[in-house]
Amino acid sequence: MRKYIQLRKTLLCLLFVGLGWPVSTHAQKIKWNKVRILVYTKNGKGYVHDNIANSKTAILALGKQNGFAVDTTSDPSKFTDENLKQYDCLVFSNTNNDVFDTDAQRVALMRYIQAGGNFVGLHSASGTERKWRWFKDLLGGTFFWHEPGQSFSVKILDPKNPSLAHLGKTWPRQTDEFYFIKELGVNLNVLAVNDHSTIQKPAGKALDTFGDVFPSVWWHEYDGGRSFYTSLGHQKEDYEKEDLRQHILGAIEWAIGPQKPRNYSKAYATSPQDAVRNTIPALSK
């Protein structure tokens, strides 16, 4: 039986590597005093998480502690070329459903990414703009379902990534939501997976795409920019805890990657439905 379990683990690991999950990651040193980020918290019609205020407080505190500037907004009119070009990273913190009023705002997000901008999605950000193909591909998929909030374990696949380097091999989540994401991208670099075998009260809609685990933290390059997503962080109290704060800080650091200004000469979008021209190899470096 032990040999069977070990063989299963080995095959699962090879599956992730074969799909480009994860790749070797080495953090770039960030000059935090040169960084400015925008935290976006808009929710459309539907469920609104009660963790948004705490998430803003947490990221503002991270900015103060590490010397980078943080702006926060729930106003979609801030999505213009002129405004977005100043930001090294956009953090969509628990956004949900339709979060833009106009296609021009959506195009501004596209152009920002195409200009070399960077994106971080936290928790319910995967439920954002569920009918917009480009955004779903930017994030890496779109929300399908979650188990009722409870404890479960997260397996760390890449302990060198700055979003996970402060954790052990397993990250116990005392209470969180085990997310299942559909329409997953094929070039995702998966950094951590939720272990469904540790769920005590399953509710019956779990996807078994990857057996007993499901990707929960990943990054990839997309349409000229970098994107990082974590499905963890449902409880508002978690944003007061050091483990999740360091996870978010590392996510921002990794999304920024090689620190460089936006280059809008590479931005080409004129419509939310424009085809992606900037294709990225499956194994990004």
d(CA 126, CA 94): 8
Please state the pTM of the whole predicted model: 0.90
The pLDDT of residue 28 is 62
Residue with the two structure tokens 């052990």? 168
The pLDDT of residue 282 is 39
d(CA 81, CA 267): 10
Identify the CA nearest to 87 among candidates 140, 30, 34.
34
Identify the CA nearest to 73 among candidates 61, 65, 82, 59.
59
- pLDDT tens digits for range 221-257: 999 999 999 999 999 999 999 999 999 999 999 999 9
* Angle between helices 242-256 and 52-66 in degrees, nearest 10: 70
Cβ atoms within 10 Å of 155's Cβ, excluding its own: 15
The pLDDT of residue 278 is 79
The pLDDT of residue 117 is 98
The full set of domains in the chain, from first to last, is 32-142+188-193+215-266 (3.40.50.880)
Low-confidence ranges of the chain (pLDDT < 70): 1-28, 279-285
